[in-house]
Amino acid sequence: MNSATAVAETIGESNLVNHARRELERAGMYDDDADYGKGVVAGVVLDLVRTLSRSDADSGAGVMLVLSIFERVARFKTLSPLTADPEEWMNVTEYGCPEGVAGIWQSRRTPSAFSNDGGKTYYDLDVKAINKPTLAIPTKPVERKTGTTPLVGTEHLREGNML
């Protein structure tokens, strides 16, 4: 442990922050030849860890839920199903449209999702379909009651399963 770690651990950082700092040091993230410069990535990671450690979601399940949701939104993934709401779809027909197709719309929420019917059905370029034609996936109805659509990826918590 170097002197920077020792000083930080004496000023009351959480166990999680101290653990993260030690692991980042051991991985060489503060070295002169670290990716993106000395300590740049490590600093961002520590900021995220500090924020997480100060949150109200301090139980194991709460932290796992926060991490799961954060990872999805940080990767531009949705937390609820796409809908046929016209506000979710932008017409990109002007950029090119195959012969026989009336139009092409792209999802504003999932940029890899495209529709030929204004969002009533869509296909997702990120969904791998081996030796199968691209399938149109029906979107969910626009009419939803707030709070009734479960977050994608949290089924295990509703069913009482731990991560």
Burial 66-103 (b: 16+ CB within 10 A, else e): bebbeeeeeeeeeeebbbbbeebbeeeeeeeeeeeeee
Structural domains of the chain, count: 2
Q: What phi, psi does 107 have (nearest 5°)? A: -70, 135
CA neighbours within 13 Å on the CB side: how many for 56? 0
Categorize the per-residue pLDDT at 153 as very low, low, confident or very high, splitting at 50, 70 and 90. Answer: very low
What is residue 9's predicted lDDT score, i.e. its pLDDT?
54
Query: Is residue 71 assigned to a domain?
Result: no
Work out the angle at residue 132's Cα, subtended by the Cα atoms of residues 131 and 133, and round it to the nearest 5 degrees.
130
Q: Tell me, what's the pLDDT at 58?
A: 62
Q: Which has more pLDDT, 16 or 146? A: 16
- Asked whether residue 157 is domain-assigned, the answer is no
Provide the 8-state DSSP code for 87.
Answer: G
Is 133 contained in some domain?
Answer: yes
CB atoms within 10 A of CB 62: 14
CA distance 16 to 121: 44
The domain containing residue 16 runs over which residues? 3-54
Would you say residue 131 lies in a domain? yes
Strand order, beta sheet including 89-91: 89-91, 105-107, 113-115, 121-124, 137-138
Task: Kindly state whether residue 162 falls inside one of the protein's structural domains.
Answer: no
- Give the mean model confidence (pLDDT) for residues 36-49: 89
State yes or no: pLDDT of 30 exceeds 70: yes
Confidence (pLDDT) at 92? 93
Q: Are residues 16 and 49 in contact, defined by beta-carbon separation less than 8 angstroms? A: yes
Domain contains 61: no
Residue 64 has phi, psi (to 5 degrees) of -65, -40
Residue for token pair 């520590």:
46
Residue 155 domain flag: no
In this prediction, what percent of the chain has a pLDDT beyond 90? 29
Whether 159 is covered by a domain: the verdict is no
